[in-house]
Structures are given as structure tokens and as C-alpha cells.
Amino acid sequence: MLRLVRLVEQWNAIERGLPEGWDDARLSLEVDEWSDADRAAALLAPLAPGRSGRAVRFFCARRGAGPGPGAVRRALERLDRERIGGRLDLLAAGEPALEPRAERATLAASWDAALQTLPGDWSDLYVEVELRSTDQLERAALLLAPVNPARHGGRPGFRFRVARLAGYGASPAMTRRCFERLDRENVRGTIAILRALSETRHVATQGPVWYVGGRAV
């Protein structure tokens, strides 16, 4: 009979295989038994996970704020002690976009196209709009104010969160209206969906927390 691989051992193997210089990793744990899903999510609470069915997703930040590799290891050890089995998968490392950047005649059209690439049960997004010109940053920040935009890195643009049903983030409709405002003032750019989660369950929180470059967003 084959020995079941402990979750900590799975994480150790994943960590060894991460690229040199990685900043953050997106992980998914699919527990073997439906009856263990609630307990697994509770034990992983320090990692601010999101749950969909038997799958619990969470991030690991190598530097700065957020759960680091040690915190992930300790959380998985708790599951191992309670004999909660499952498969741990690495979904992404670094900061990948889910789809190529979309640039069409208008930002509103780009937004519509980006949403079409998502599964129907998506719940939370982390979005970036990159502008063609730094000269339009101040005006764009004002027009995007309802989505709570934030600068990130050196590119001329903003990042913000979108929530489809509940929780922290602008609604998809509000996001589109903001893009329409940019379009009316001839502000051009590209849109990228950097992170996406489906069917998250908000238990005494405003939604999941993402860690990008060691910072909570």
C-alpha cells in the first residue's frame, strides 16, 4: 500500500521547485473528503484563504507582509496532525496575468472582453489598467476614484479590486462606468486581470487578501 504524501512534504517539494527570485506563489489545496473542507479552511485561516467546494486557495509571500513559507508550512502541519489529506498544487508563481493585456477601441470594450475570459462563477478580481501616457495619470486617478485605484511599480497606471457579488472591491458595473469616463476624455490604455478567484465565502471578512511582492492588496 502506497504511503500518502503529507501536505507538508508536498509544500516542501513545491517550494524547492519555485523559480529563483520568486516573490509570491498562488496555491490550491483540494482535500480528499468533502467533510474535511470546512475544517481545512478553518485551520488555514491565518493564510486568508478562499474556498470553492473542496478546493482552498491561498497565497504565500516570500518577502514583506503576508504569510511566508514558514507560515504555510505550520498551517499545513496542523492539517497533517488532524489527518486531513489532499493534493496541494502550485497555480502560479510571481505575478502572472490570466490573459494577455486587452486593448481595443475603448477601455470599456476591453473590460467587456476581459470579463468574457472568466468563468461564470468568478467572485473577486485584481485588475490593472496601464495608461499610454504619464501625462494622464492625475486625471485618470480622479475619474477612477470610485474603484479606489492604487499605483504599483513604475508603470503609468493603477491597480484595484473588483467584487462581483459582495466584499471589498468595486462592482463590475461601476468599474465599467469608470472606464467609460476615461474613454470620453480620450484616455487610452490596456487592461489586465492579474488575479481571479471563484465562489469565495466571506466569513467575518470583506473578502480574500492577495499578497503581491510581499504586500497585501
Domain containing residue 189: CATH number: 3.30.70
Residue range 91-100, pLDDT digits in tens: 877 654 455 4
Domain boundary among 47, 68, 94: 94
Answer whether residue 215 is part of any domain. Answer: no
Residue range 55-67, pLDDT digits in tens: 888 878 776 556 7
| 44, 37 Cβ separation under 8 angstroms | no
116: Cβ contacts below 8 Å, ≥ 6 apart:
none
Q: What is the mean pLDDT of residues 183-189?
A: 91
Grouping H, G, I as helix, E, B as strand and the rest as coil, residue 150 is strand
Specify whether 63 is located in the same domain as 131: no
Specify whether 38 is located in the same domain as 121: no
**What is the chain's alpha carbon radius of gyration, rounded to the nearest angstrom?**
19
CA 148 distance to own-chain centroid = 17
Answer whether residue 158 is part of any domain. Answer: yes
Domain boundary among 71, 94, 117: 94
Structural domain range at position 24: 7-94
In this prediction, residue 3 has a pLDDT band, given cuts at 50, 70 and 90, of very low
The sign of the torsion formed by the CA atoms of 125, 31, 23, 203 equals positive
What's the pTM?
0.53
Specify whether 84 is located in the same domain as 116: no
Specify whether 83 is located in the same domain as 112: no
Of residues 135 and 217, the one with the higher pLDDT is 135
pLDDT, residue 209, reads: 64
pLDDT, residue 217, reads: 66
Residues linked to residue 124 through DSSP beta bridges, in sequence order:
163, 197
Domain count, the chain: 2
